[in-house]
Amino acid sequence: AKARHFRWEVSNMFWSPDCEEKVLIGINGQFPGPTIRAKAGDTIVVELKNGLHTEGVVIHWHGIRQIGTPWADGTASISQCAINPEETFTYRFVVDKPGTYFYHGHYGMQRAAGLYGSLIVDVADGEEEPFKYDGELNLLLSDWYHESIYTQMVGLSSKPFRWIGEPQSLLINGRGQFNCSLAAAHTPGAKQCAVAGGGNRHCAPVILPVLPNKTYRLRVASTTSLASLNLAVGNHKLTVVEADGNYVDPFLVDDIDIYSGDSYSVLLTTNQNPSANYWISVGVRGRQPKTSPALAILNYRPNRASNLPPSPPPPTPAWDDFARSKSFTHRILGLAGNTPPPPAKSDRRIELLNTQNRMDGHIKWSINNVSMVLPSTPYLGSLKMGLKSAMPPSSESPSDTFGRGYDVTRPPANPNTTAGGNLYVIAHNATVDVVLQNANALARNVSEVHPWHLHGHDFWVLGYGEGMFDEKLASAAFNLRNPPLRNTAVIFPYGWTAIRFVADNPGVWAFHCHIEPHLHMGMGVIFAEAVDRVGELPKAAVSCGATATALMAGNGGGHV
């Protein structure tokens, strides 16, 4: 294992991800940010300079558990103080497990401003993947808005509420096509996009060169702000082998659904007519699509990349065919002999009702009727140093359950909600079940998809169900034999999802809907786990707010 050093500077820059020029957040002049490639067991060291001039920044290493380094998780207000303009913070952490990961901003809505990139961990020397392939291709998927994140955030907290709407473009490796289609020949009324991006290097479509009769590992991750996606490759089937940095029991599909926060590896064999190229198409699912699919070209060499595929791009399944989405999701299972089974019993069950609510004329998302707000002093420091005053309003223990009388099939009878910290204190090494219960939103006959992401852990997905969670029926149906390990799990409209994790990683960890505006509107909770066991905190992680004041007064108590 070795240490891999990176020196990065985050800055705003002009960029044209879909050929329309906007300002986004890049790293070292690149968008998406540089790809980190490492081997399992390596230590990653990123010296991150904030070149944004007027706002803080942090970076979260999505899917990396940060075992023993909770201060490097990169969550503002939770694991560290945001890095001030012109200052540098050093992230140092071990990537202990091979897999397909990514990193992204976790302060305000900076992820949606383009602050993201890929993080790929190969097996350690001498180890082997449980499948074979000849080559590898990487696709980082995102969605893109033409309004700035500042306009979006003001809208979300305005009275009346202004929703961000659907994205203008979908991006593959940061490249999209707005107002035109690469496949205009097959898309009535569409204007043909220039194949090379009309000379604009930012939006030239992604070309993936392959050789015939080989097997490729396609790594796919989604860091969308809102969109749930579906990816298909014309004429080719896909074998799913990895989800969120964990191997799965391989299964063959025509296409994959991918929610924000998910990552997959799929194997693709180039066994089609070698004289043609093929489309890779990424479209919207789960919400009424108003965004054109993003297209990339699977380029069978030695064909020219500019030879557009002769057949139409594979269609995205109907956005509201949830039965199809569920059957895909239910097929994801742990790999026998590789994925450890979950503990047979849990010590605690936390049931979280997800509702859309009103608060003083604003629209919010609430968990057990409390909409999450974050404190000005990050939790990891304030809890470690015992500073109660640093907590957000009404951070008294939130509830482990919600009233079973709640009707999840209808808009809330009383939509009023309050703000709070949603801070759950979890005992060291406890086995915890979390049941995420979906419900009807404010509008009638609307219940949305929410992908929930847990920091600091992988969890087993024990099961999915429809309607109100029923303890007796559900726990009998839990899959304790071969559930998949993941870090992100979706709740389907009007349904519930049950997960299990072991609290074996002291720290303060966010657990939240990965849809950027939903988190911004309060859709999350915090798990504070055995903070007394956390090692000495780097000073830079606590040099703000009440922890800075305590340190100046000499009350650090040896915690930093």
Ligand X SMILES: O=C1O[C@H]([C@@H](O)CO)C(O)=C1O
Binding site for ligand X (CB under 6 A): 163, 363, 441, 448, 517-518, 521
CB of 263 to ligand X, least distance (A): 23
Residue 64 CB: number of other CB atoms within 10 A? Answer: 28
Angle (CA) 457 533 523, round 5°: 40
Q: C-beta of 423: minimal distance to ligand X in Å? A: 23
For residue 529, the Cα-to-chain-centroid distance in whole angstroms is 22
**CB-nearer residue toward ligand X: 129 or 147:** 147
How big is the CA angle at 343 (ends 340 and 349), to the nearest 5 degrees?
130
Sign of CA dihedral 378, 97, 92, 53: negative
Q: Are 61 and 116 in contact (CB under 8 A)?
A: no
Residue 325, SS3 per DSSP: helix
Cα 28 from Cα 133, distance rounded (Å):
32
CB of 276 to ligand X, least distance (A): 39
Query: Among all residues, whose Cβ is closest to ligand X?
Result: 163
Q: 25 vs 441, which CB is nearer to ligand X?
A: 441
In contact, 284 and 371? CB cutoff 8 Å: no
The three-class DSSP label of residue 170 is strand
Nearer to ligand X, 14 or 163 (CB): 163
CA-to-CA dists, residue 222 to 86, 173, 228, 519, angstroms: 30, 10, 9, 16
Min. distance of Cβ 264 from ligand X in angstroms? 24
Query: Is the Cβ of residue 217 or residue 518 nearer to ligand X in the bound state?
Result: 518
Residue with tokens 């299964």: 251
CB of 165 to ligand X, least distance (A): 8
For ligand X, the closer CB: 387 or 441: 441
| Residue 225 vs 382, nearer CB to ligand X | 225
**Complex with ligand X: residue 333 or 363, whichever CB lies closer:** 363
Shortest distance in whole angstroms from residue 437 CB to ligand X:
17
Tokens read off for 317 = 């399944």
Least distance from C-beta 539 to ligand X, angstroms? 38
- Give min distance, CB of 354 to ligand X, in A: 11
Contact in structure between 47 and 88 (CB atoms under 8 Å): yes
> Facing residues of 279 across strands?
297
Of 8 and 365, the one with the shorter C-beta distance to ligand X is 365
- 3-state class (DSSP) for residue 113: helix
Question: How far is 369 from 365, CA to CA, in rounded Å?
Answer: 8
Q: Look-up: residue for tokens 């726990």?
A: 475
In the complex, the smallest distance separating the C-beta of residue 325 from ligand X, rounded to whole angstroms, is 17
Element (H, E) at 218: strand 215-222
Shortest gap between Cβ of 154 and ligand X (angstroms)?
Answer: 15
Contact 486, 510 (CB under 8 A): no
Nearer to ligand X, 323 or 443 (CB): 443
Q: Looking at beta carbons only, is 255 or 516 nearer to ligand X?
A: 516
Instruction: Report how far Cα 509 is from the mean position of its chain's Cα atoms.
Output: 14
